[in-house]
Structures are given as C-alpha cells and as structure tokens.
C-alpha cells in the first residue's frame, strides 16, 4: 500500500512547468500596461493639483497686492537683474513657503538677483513646482544647478513687456476673459529644458516663460521628418540655444496641463489648432490670426475662443 501511494505522488513535468511560466509571463505582460496607465493617471492628477495651487496663489497674490505677480522682477527703466527673481519666488508665501522666502531674503525692491549658481537655501526643492511625470533629475543643469521647475508663465498676462519693464495685469483686465487665457503651463526636462526654481536665469528668458509657437509638445526628430536640434534624424533633446526651448512640453500622453486665468486647470491636447508658421521665439502682438492656441496666449486680442 505504501509503495502504491509513493508511486502516485509526482511533480510537474518540464513541459507543464514551462506552460505555467509562459502563462504567468503573459499575465504580467497584460498587467504592466494597466499599472503604468494608473501610475500616469495619478501623476497627471498630481500635476493638475500643483497647477491648481499655483492658480490660487496668483489670485491670492492679487488680492494682497492689487495685481498679478510679475514673471520676472524688474523695475521701470531698470535694473533688469539677470539672474533675477521670478514669479515662483514671489508667490512663495501663498503656497505655504513663507519661511523659505524669509530665509533667502531676496531683494525684490531695488531689485537685485541671486548668483548664477544655486547655493544654500536656493537648493531647497519646492515639490509643487515639479511634475511627477518628469522623471529626470531634480536639479537643472541647464540653469546653474537650481532645482528643476516644470511650470512656466504666460508673459503676455504677467509681464514683463518686450522692453523688460514690469507689465503685470489684474485678472479683471483680461479682455478676452480669464477662462480663455493661459496663465501657467508645463515644460519638461527630458525633451526640453524645463526651468530653474525661483529665478529668471541669464541663460534664456525661457527659464520663466512659455510661448505657444507651432504647438504643444514639439519633439526632436527621431527619423525621417523635421530636422531636430542635432540635425536630421537626431533625438538630441532641446537645449538653451534651441528655438523650441520656449515651448510648452510635458511627459503626459497627448498634451499639457495648464492653469487658466480664472484658476481652472485644463488639459490641452497637442492636436490643438496652432499657427504652423509661428516660431517659438516670436513675441506675438494682437492680430487677426485665427489659431486657437495663439488666441489662448493673448489676453486682449478680442477674438472668441472655443477650447476643444
């Protein structure tokens, strides 16, 4: 009897084991995309929440100071410090970072600016300024090692103007309506240059502002097609000398998050209508161009807008 029981016990054959392993591998393969999709949805939601907090900070800043925060702290007729303090520095008290502003104690009255390289308290990372979908370094080598910031402002609303003189608006001065005007949008550091936290860096004004140009999420060429910054067929990321450095980019699939003048946060698809001939380096003026993205950037062109 014992001999019979012993013969009835056997393990998996090699073929059975391989079949089980194959089934497990297939299940994992099916599960991973779902996990990645959920992870990206959570990151996009966190990014949206970051922008919501910034939108509230802009409105609270206006309630206190009678105008929106400027994109770059300058003075009428100068000085125009570069590096200089940016909008992300002066709204610190309105995102519960007043202690950091006090510690840094930057001069925004004269005004002056910090050095070109981040040191001390300037290295403090403010988490709401970094999009979780941008998996690159926390510190930005494009701009003196300052912490990376994934958000840039619409200069046509907050200034300064083309002569670098202060020109911040109030929400109620947005002729086209605050719900139809971009306030802050995204820029990544994997394809593009992102920005430096707290400062307008002397490398480029793209360190604090974004421009719509030919559209959202421009990509360096990776094969046949447009010429990338490193030449045809290059996948070299943009740099501080690339025209596209001023573009709005994100690592979210299909578009970018923006906070609008009314404080609402919306995701704009990269397929949104944009002027195919508009260079990202252009400083557009009010005109009759009928492209949705250009109209969303200009606060006073008087043209109706419909966001898809």
User: Across residues 47-72, what is the average pLDDT?
Assistant: 98
Q: Give residue-wise pLDDT tens across range 164-189.
A: 999 999 999 999 999 999 999 999 99
User: How many whole angstroms separate alpha carbon 42 and alpha carbon 183?
Assistant: 23
Task: Output the CA angle 100-262-188, nearest 5 degrees.
Answer: 55
CA distance 76 to 165: 5
* Higher-pLDDT residue of 100, 8: 100
Within a 13 Å sphere around the CA of 203, how many CA atoms are in the beta-carbon half? Answer: 25
Q: How far apart are the first and last CA of the chain?
A: 78
Percent of the chain having pLDDT more than 70?
85
Query: Rounded CA gap, 20 and 3, in Å?
Result: 30
Token pair, residue 52, equals 């919501």
Domain boundaries, given as residue ranges, for the chain = 41-297
Residue 279: pLDDT over 70? yes
pLDDT in tens, 131-143: 999 988 999 999 9
pLDDT digits (tens, 9 = 90+) for 26-48: 777 766 665 555 566 788 899 99
Round to whole Å and give the CA distance between 292 and 151. 21
CA distances 156 to 68, 118, 226, 289, Å, are: 12, 28, 29, 16
> What confidence category does residue 206 fall into, taking pLDDT thresholds of 50, 70 and 90?
very high
Query: DSSP class of residue 301?
Result: S
Q: Is 10 a residue whose pLDDT tops 80?
A: no
Summarize pLDDT for 222-238 with one digit per residue, the tens. 644 444 444 444 567 89
| CA-wise closest residue to 270 among 238, 237, 293 | 293
* Sequence-distant (≥ 6) Cβ neighbours of residue 134 within 8 angstroms: 148, 150, 188, 189, 190, 194, 250, 251
Output the pLDDT for position 88: 98
DSSP label at residue 42:
H
pTM listed for this prediction: 0.85
Q: Is 80 exceeded by the pLDDT of residue 126? A: yes
User: pLDDT above 90 covers what percent of the chain?
Assistant: 71
Residue 65 has pLDDT above 90, yes or no: yes
Count of residues in the chain: 308
Residue with tokens 């104690």: 105
CB proximity list for 206: less than 8 A, separation 6 or greater: 152, 187, 193, 195, 240, 245, 246
Q: What is the model's pLDDT at position 26?
A: 78
Picking from 115-124, 151-160, 229-238, which range would have the lowest pLDDT averaged per residue? 229-238
Say yes or no to pLDDT of 163 above 50: yes
Whether the CB-CB separation of 154 and 160 falls below 8 Å is answered with no
Q: Tens digit of pLDDT for each residue in 253-270?
A: 999 999 999 999 999 999
Are 261 and 183 spatial neighbours (Cβ–Cβ below 8 Å)?
A: yes
Among 39-48, 100-109, 288-297, top mean pLDDT goes to 100-109
HSE-CB at 137 with a 13 A cutoff on CA atoms is: 12
DSSP string, 44-56: HHHHHHHHHHHHH
pLDDT at 160: 97
Report residue 107 as tokens: 């001069």
The tokens describing 159, both together, are: 């200034």
Rg of the chain over all Cα atoms, to the nearest angstrom? 24
């Amino acid at each position: 009897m014992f001999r019979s029981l012993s013969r009835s016990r056997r393990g998996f054959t090699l073929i059975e084991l391989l079949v089980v392993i194959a089934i497990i591998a297939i299940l994992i393969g099916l599960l991973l995309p779902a996990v990645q999709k959920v992870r990206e949805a959570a990151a996009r939601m966190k990014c949206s929440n970051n922008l919501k907090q910034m939108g509230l900070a802009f409105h609270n800043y206006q309630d206190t100071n009678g105008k929106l925060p400027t994109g770059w702290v300058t003075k009428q007729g100068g000085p125009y410090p570069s590096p200089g303090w940016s909008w992300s520095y002066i709204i610190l008290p309105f995102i519960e970072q007043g202690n950091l502003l006090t510690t840094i104690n930057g001069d925004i009255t004269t005004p002056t600016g910090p050095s070109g390289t981040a040191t001390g308290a300037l290295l403090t990372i403010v988490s709401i300024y970094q999009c979780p979908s941008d998996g690159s370094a926390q510190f930005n080598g494009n701009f003196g090692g300052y912490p990376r910031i994934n958000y840039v402002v619409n200069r046509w609303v907050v200034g300064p103007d083309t002569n670098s003189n202060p020109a911040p608006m109030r929400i109620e001065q947005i002729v086209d309506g605050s719900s139809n005007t971009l306030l802050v949008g995204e820029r990544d550091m994997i394809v593009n240059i992102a920005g430096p936290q707290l400062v307008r860096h002397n490398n480029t004004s793209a360190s604090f502002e974004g421009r719509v140009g030919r559209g959202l999420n421009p990509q360096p060429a990776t094969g046949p097609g447009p010429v990338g910054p490193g030449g045809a067929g290059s996948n070299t990321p943009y740099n501080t000398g690339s025209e596209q450095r001023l573009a709005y980019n994100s690592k979210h699939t299909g578009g970018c998050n923006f906070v609008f003048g009314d404080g609402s946060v919306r995701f704009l698809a990269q397929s949104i209508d944009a002027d195919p001939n508009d260079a990202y380096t252009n400083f557009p003026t009010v005109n009759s161009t009928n492209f949705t993205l250009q109209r969303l950037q200009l606060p006073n062109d008087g043209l109706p807008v419909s966001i898809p």
